[in-house]
Amino acid sequence: MDRTTIDLWVGIFVALGVAALLGLAMKVGNLTSSKIGETYSVTAAFENVGSLKPQSPVKSAGVVVGRVDNIRFDSKSFEAVVTIKIDKRYAFPKDTFANIYTAGLLGEQYVGLEAGGDDEALKNGDKISKTQDAVVLEKMISQFLFSKASESDSKTKEGDAASVSKPADSKSSSGKSTELGDAAF
């Protein structure tokens, strides 16, 4: 076999390999989507983070605006402290809500940010004070059973509260449900 022919074929072979690798990285992997430029990090404390993991997406209005950097347990307040990195391009008001949602019924969990109305924006190292925990299925079921068993009075009250302003009261209602759920058992 001629040496130049071999060179040509090996060149094609290597080019194909590089192309396949680029294809894997760009089209299959998250090289393009995970590229966040300059970021600032804020923390948020949750009572329960569910199955949230580092690198989980942070979304606002469904758009990925950042990633979860790390999650640690605070042994003083017994809460999980989640550090999230948000793209510098997006500024959020100081009273932004951080909720943990689940994508689909069995999907991965992510942090959802809902902007508040404050004039001041979140800065690097700030703490988001208004948070809502991950939904725990057992808790929800016990809450449902309890509310079924209790009088219709409390049920309508809870329904009203949810319809008036969802994020503000969902924190208190979830806190209440824990107590009620514990009492039921």
Partner 1 sequence: MIKSNLLVKITRILRGIGKRMIERTWRLGAGARLFFLTIIYSGESFRRFHLTLREIYFTGVMSMMLIIVSGFFVGMVLALQGYNTLQKYGSSEAIGVLVALSLVRELGPVVTALLFAGRAGTAITAEIGLMKTTEQLSAMEMMAVNPIARVIAPRFWAGLISMPILATVFSMVGILGGYLVAVPLIGVDDGAFWSQMQANVDVRADIVNGLIKSLVFGIVCTMIALFEGFDAPPTAEGVSRATTRTVVISSFAVLGLDFVLTSFMLVV
Site string for partner 1, 103-142 (x = CB under 8 A): -x-x------------------------------------
Nearer to partner 1, 56 or 174 (CB): 56
Work out how close the CB of 95 gets to partner 1 at its nearest, in angstroms, rounded to a whole number: 30
Nearer to partner 1, 13 or 144 (CB): 13
Query: 42 with 127: CB under 8 angstroms?
Result: yes
Q: What is the CA radius of gyration of the chain?
A: 23
- Report, in this order, helix, strand and coil percent for the chain, each rounded to 5: 40, 30, 35
Work out how close the CB of 52 gets to partner 1 at its nearest, in angstroms, rounded to a whole number: 15
Interface of this chain with partner 1, residues 21 to 80, rule: CB under 8 A: 21, 23-25, 27-34, 55, 57
Query: 36 with 66: CB under 8 angstroms?
Result: yes
Distance CA 62, CA 74 (A): 29
Residue 28: CB atoms within 10 A of its CB come to 8
Kindly state the number of chain residues that form the binding site for partner 1, as judged by CB under 8 A. 28
Instruction: Say whether residue 16 binds partner 1 (CB under 8 A).
Output: yes
Instruction: Say whether residue 168 binds partner 1 (CB under 8 A).
Output: no
Q: Which range touches partner 1 (CB under 8 A), out of 13-21, 77-85, 113-121, 161-169? A: 13-21
Dig out the tokens for 96 from the structure: 């932004």
Scanning the chain, the segments in alpha helix (DSSP H) are 3-23, 137-149, 152-164, 166-184
Distance CA 99, CA 46 (A): 9
Nearer to partner 1, 37 or 117 (CB): 37
Rule CB under 8 A: which residues touch partner 1? 1, 3, 6-7, 9-10, 12-14, 16-17, 20-21, 23-25, 27-34, 55, 57, 104, 106
